[in-house]
Chain A
């Protein structure tokens, strides 16, 4: 069964550093998403992406965050200057149509900011 692949599975970074979280969505999917889950809390929407541009973004997705689909296969989330409160599990997801059939999520990247 096709999968959404995320790398790395765990990343530790120092506060103030830039991180890039990488995702390879399912190949024929057109809609892409990032969500995050702070430990012990609910899963929160960050951003959706379609046709090479952001469709929606949440209040969390401020100027420190950016997304890119640089080569038609990868979908990346960049955090420019990490803060301690950015420590969370970050999930990438994709879908062929808009999410009414449910997205396929990746297995997540655990980001730890120290």
Chain B
């Protein structure tokens, strides 16, 4: 069974600084997809970024980028130029071969002015 581990329950960053959220996963699949979702206080789950495991190039979406290390099964999220609106819970997730997302336990990110 796939597992996703987020070892940082909470992180904090100052506005305009950079922060990295960690995620490791375990899967026996050779082809899979990884995601980061943001959950602000409104509780909606918002897709931040996705990575296809067969692509070596790290995904980037504006201020958000990932460091995907396939051999190490690591998938960290880097947020550059942090903004107050980035404060939220961030969930790492892996899509298994039955088309369901396996989520980590989340990292709560606080952003200080």
A interface with B by C-beta (< 8 Å) = 31, 33, 35, 41-45, 48, 55-56, 58, 89, 91, 93, 98-108, 110
Contacts and interface: CB of A to CB of B under 8 A. Distances in A.
A31 B99 contact: yes
A106 B44 contact: yes
B44 A105 contact: yes
Contacts of B50: 101-102
Given A42-B106, A98-B99, A107 B52 contact: no
A90 B100 CA distance: 15
A100 B93 CA distance: 11
B16 interface: no
B95 A105 contact: no
A55 B98 CA distance: 8
B47 interface: yes
A41 B106 CA distance: 8
Contact of B35 (A56, A89, A102, A107): A102
B52 A100 contact: yes
Contacts of A33: 100
Contact of B45 (A55, A100, A101, A105): A105
Nearest to B47: A102
Contacts of A108: 43-45
B66 to A, nearest CB: 13
B95 A99 contact: yes
Interface string B3-34: 00000000000000000000000000000010
Nearest to A95: B99
A103 B91 CA distance: 14
